[in-house]
Amino acid sequence: MYTVRRFVVRHSRFFEWVYECFEPMLVFLDPVWSRFGYNRMERPVAFAERHIKGLLFDCQMCGQCVLSSTGMSCPMNCPKNLRNGPCGGVRENGHCEVKPAMKCVWVDAWEGASRMKGGDKISIVQPPVDRSLEGSSSWLRVARERAEEKRATRDAAREAMAEAFSEAREEEPAAAPLATEPPNAQPMQEAEESTSVLTVEKTPS
């Protein structure tokens, strides 16, 4: 709806904040999406996304959402589907040359981006639209990609830790035990750790 999408652009900072809260939730739900299967979740999530974003942004479900980089103005509403700025046909009043009643989505994008915290993302060059992703859910794609990135970072940290651990063991075996202590060794160790007074044996003078 044209009026709603113009309203969103005028309040782009607020919608940016909403998305900043929403994206971590999507990633947090990765175990749920994985449990049911991302492919199985595709239809219901895409259905919800189509209706919510359709109402707010006139979303065309390109499957590769760039709203955060385009001032919350969907570039797929440009009759030429331009993803990297306006064509040379913007009218003097800022309207589209193909649809004179509509303001150019890139004029809106520029205004929306100027209100956003991450507004400078508008200068990022977007890749061409991959038409094979049309109709698919951007939300699920973001959830899967971010969750994979997090897993990769965590695995790399674990590998680094395992490496450091084996190096530490070579340097000082007692400081880096390979296995957990046997149960009968633990109470003794705890007792030793809890003792804070040093006893000094007196030597006979």
Residues within the interface to ligand SF4 (CB under 6 A): 53, 57, 59-62, 65-67, 74, 76, 138
User: Which CB atom, from 15 or from 57, has the smaller least distance to ligand SF4?
Assistant: 57
Least Cβ distance, residue 183 to ligand SF4 (angstroms)? 57
Least Cβ distance, residue 174 to ligand SF4 (angstroms)? 57
> HSE-up of 197 (CA within 13 Å, CB side)?
3
Asked whether 94 and 107 are in contact (CB, 8 A), the reply is: yes
User: Which CB atom, from 60 or from 84, has the smaller least distance to ligand SF4?
Assistant: 60
Burial (CB count within 10 angstroms: exposed 0-12, middle 13-18, buried 19+), residue 87:
middle
Task: Report how far Cα 194 is from the mean position of its chain's Cα atoms.
Answer: 45
User: Which CB atom, from 53 or from 103, has the smaller least distance to ligand SF4?
Assistant: 53
> HSE-up of 199 (CA within 13 Å, CB side)?
3
Least Cβ distance, residue 39 to ligand SF4 (angstroms)? 19
Q: How far apart are the first and last CA of the chain?
A: 99
User: Which CB atom, from 23 or from 169, has the smaller least distance to ligand SF4?
Assistant: 23
Least Cβ distance, residue 51 to ligand SF4 (angstroms)? 12
